Amino acid sequence: MNVTCEVVGEETTTVSVAADATYADLCRAVGYSPHEVTVLVDETPVAEDAPVETDRVTVLRLVKGG
């Protein structure tokens, strides 16, 4: 499944994830830990263990830097 991920303030990218992927898997595919971002679907946060059921998400970084 291809999912377009808009990372707020950065870039928009399309990643491929397995048909049974969760939003945590999607975060990792974009290059982030599920602990440092929140995934939004239609401006609503989704649980990281929920299955991916859309082809477009917004990724909001909560932690940046170190």
pLDDT recorded at residue 65: 66
Q: What is the pLDDT of residues 5-52, one digit of tens each?
A: 999 999 999 999 999 999 999 999 999 999 999 999 999 999 999 999
Quick one: three-class SS letters along the chain?
CEEEEEECCCCEEEEECCCCCEHHHHHHHHCCCCCCEEEEECCEECCCCCECCCCEEEEEECCCCC
- Whether residue 63 is predicted with pLDDT greater than 70 in this model: the reply is yes
Superfamily (CATH) of domain 2-61: Beta-grasp domain (3.10.20.30)
